[in-house]
Amino acid sequence: MVKRIKLRTLFIGGCITLFFLVLIGRVFWIQVLDRDFWQAYAAEKRAHTSVIKAERGTIEDRNGKVLASDVPAYTVVVNPEVIAERGIGEEVITGLHELLGKPENELKALVEAKDDKGKYLKNREIRNEGWKIDQELRDKVDEFIQKLRDEHDILETGVGVITEQKRYYPQQTLAAHILGYTDRDGNAVMGLEKYFDKQLKGTDGKLLYQSDGKGIKLPDSQDTYQPVVNGSNFKLTIDSTIQYYIEQAMQKAYDEYKPKSITVIAADPNTMEILGMANMPTFNPNEFWNYASDPGVFYNHAIKSRFEPGSTFKIVALAGAVEENLFDPDKTFMSGSIRIKGYSKPLYDQNRSGYGEITFLEGVKRSSNVAFVKLGYEMLGPDRLLQYVDDFGFNNVTGIDLPGEISGRVNPTPHNASENATIAYGHGKVEVTPIQQLTAISAIANGGKLMVPHVVKEVTDPNTGKTTVTQPQVVRQVISEESAKETGSYLEQVVADLDHGTGRHAYIEGYRVAGKTGTAIKPDGKGGYDRDKVLSSFLGYAPVNNPKIAVYIVIDEPADATGGGAAAGPVFKEIVSQSLEYMGVPKVADDNAEDDEKKTSATATKTAAAIRTAPDLTDKTAAAAREMLLKQGYNFETVGQGTSVISQYPEAGSMLSSGQKIFLITQQSDKPVIPDLSGQSLRDALEVLNLLKVGITVEGEGYVTEQKEEIKNGKTVVTLSLAPLNEYGEDIPVPPAVDETEGETAAE
């Protein structure tokens, strides 16, 4: 018995000893031989990275109206495990189907989702119908969740909403082809969003830290911080009011003529700042997914489409002939048709029987093809004509700061008489883009300078405060200033001659308008032309004596093959007349209306227009108020994302100074949206901020030059920096004072 006990003891002791030897060996293996591996593994488990999302930059128009910004968005999620436990699956499916419009069978798959082991999953996003929804729909989802709680006496329903960010375009379809859009994952797809994506999106920041097994940060954690770089903010040359006028006029023409598309571009010809650019049909970048069946709506014809321009291209031959002193407005020629050496067939005017023997000036007004063959092919000659085509930029891109621009193509076969002759009137081996056409007419309007068009006015880096301003850029002097003025005077008569001018439908009483019509018969794809399909256009600027705006309109296949003068001319007239009045450009008396009564009437009208009062907009919907102010040419800004106007400044009935801005307050919250108050007087700025119920700190005297927002004791405080203005409107530095207050191609 004793021997047996000793053997058992020895055996147990040996096992224990062996166990400890194995344990010590394993520890030695881990701590010594495998030390590097396990140290790296431990460091990896302890190390965590927290991503700090960069804010995507905002995009504003030239007056500070927000066109694109990041706003809160909400995604609906379901928890299949909780829903199954509560037994409310059918109610959840039916309720979310009614709210989100997602098919019930797809919702059922999400609500009843299980893993490979047959266990219910915990969280599933409802895409796409419940993904990044707006505040209004989120409120309805919250009401549905509360209804489930009340009816079933439960706290957790298995339905929830998580807060995210999304790109929002508050002006809806306005300037959609310029802005482009980002998809629901935040990836830039087209337009400025795509072209300047790197600058707009910034760089995410990172915080690297160490934690224990439960994820709690270690006291001695060695943190590494990579600061966030927020995206730059862009201010565009676009004027939202002019853009609105453009799109309204386009819509009328689109409804009337039912064309394939319409494109309009407007610019300041002196700087080539693009004031507006639009295509129709268009799209709403907030709902880009609704246009998947018609991807053509995303195409920006203004910079990506080339076509035979027809008679609008005649400005090149006219300008070249004037520059070379070859154009004699009083010299006559026989209209109707012309034969050129080396080509057996005659070239015709749009009216084949012609107008008899007429002057070259009348030929310009009637858009005679014969006149321009004589000017461009016979007088200038093919080589000089093509040189002017190149000088006006038609064989190169304009360099506009938008993605996807293509170049025109003007490449007649050398020594081919017909191809070189028809170039003079925009037919045959000539294709241009709308932006090239606008750039060319602007060169005539601004004194002969070909300039680079641009849509970005300035870029501000919020991380450094540095602002980079886009300066006007001259490519070359195409013709002299004197020749440009003379050419403009002939183009003015195309519009002003209400008997013979093809541009008479663009005539605007009180403004001198220069322009050129175009009606290009479209190729039929078989080497010929289809006279039932035309591309109608109008190209012009105003006022002739001091150009403020140049506009190009092109209508692709209007009904009944309506010509450029009749179809595009009225669109030009509507856009330019509204824009010039909005810009405050005074009208001039008609040369034929010299009597005192008309002068007195015009003066009275101008005086009455200058005295304006603020309309009553309180309690109107934000959309209705915006539309009313746009139509009447008021300068205004909407503050907040609310759906109705809760207050305004100045108050209804208040006298408005010239260009004074009306502020529409549509939202009040713990974190109010503060508008850009730059240039406002202290009184106006204080009134607006008091409506928003924020704290105010004032530094300096005069007008607002800078503003800064911060949170103090849970309340938003805005610091205004002021400076007086000298007689030239420039800031004058003053010692700061501090005060704190609460509160045809062939056809034409």
Q: Which residues are catalytic?
A: 311
**DSSP for residue 237:** S
Distant-in-sequence, close-in-space partners of 531: CB < 8 Å, separation ≥ 6? 521, 561, 747
Please state the φ and ψ torsions of residue 231, each to the nearest 5 degrees.
-70, 155
Alpha-carbon span 693 to 687, nearest angstrom: 10
Distant-in-sequence, close-in-space partners of 527: CB < 8 Å, separation ≥ 6? none
Alpha-carbon span 193 to 374, nearest angstrom: 47
Indicate the residue type of 23. Answer: L
Give the pair of three-digit tokens for residue 533. Answer: 């399909």
Instruction: Look at residues 263, 352, 275, 317 and name the one whose alpha carbon lies nearest to residue 536.
Output: 263
Place of tokens 């062996």: 18
Whether the Cβ atoms of residue 410 and residue 386 lie closer than 8 Å to each other: yes
Give the pair of three-digit tokens for residue 196. Answer: 């300047």
738-741: strand order across its sheet: 703-712, 715-723, 695-699, 738-741
Please state the φ and ψ torsions of residue 113, each to the nearest 5 degrees.
-65, 135
Question: Cβ atoms within 10 A of the Cβ of 395, count?
Answer: 16
Whether the Cβ atoms of residue 408 and residue 369 lie closer than 8 Å to each other: no
Instruction: Look at residues 79, 626, 535, 606 and name the one whose alpha carbon lies nearest to residue 312.
Output: 535
What are the Cα distances from residue 414, in Å, to 386, 393, 418, 425, 435?
11, 20, 10, 18, 27
- Bridge-based pairing state of the strands 661-665 and 647-649: antiparallel
What are the Cα distances from residue 474, in Å, to 49, 447, 452, 477, 548?
49, 12, 6, 8, 18
Alpha-carbon span 156 to 153, nearest angstrom: 9
Give the 3-state DSSP-derived string for 613-645, with helices as H, strands as E and coil as C: ECCCCCCCEHHHHHHHHHHCCCEEEEECCCCEC
Distant-in-sequence, close-in-space partners of 418: CB < 8 Å, separation ≥ 6? 340, 342, 343, 345, 347, 428
DSSP bridge partners of 234: 59, 459
Phi-psi region of 32 (alpha: psi -120 to 50; beta: other; left: phi over 0): alpha
Q: What's the number of CA atoms in the CB half-sphere (13 Å) around residue 687?
A: 14
Distant-in-sequence, close-in-space partners of 398: CB < 8 Å, separation ≥ 6? 405, 435, 436, 439, 452, 453
Alpha-carbon span 105 to 100, nearest angstrom: 13
Helix and strand element counts for the chain (H, E): 23, 34
DSSP state letters, 108-131: HHHHT-B-TTSPBPS-EE-TTTTS
Helix extents (H) in 330-452? 360-365, 369-372, 382-391, 417-423, 434-445
Indicate the residue type of 579. Answer: S
Alpha-carbon span 71 to 166, nearest angstrom: 6
Whether the Cβ atoms of residue 87 and residue 41 lie closer than 8 Å to each other: no
Give the 3-state DSSP-derived string for 442-460, with helices as H, strands as E and coil as C: HHHHCCCEEECCECEEEEE
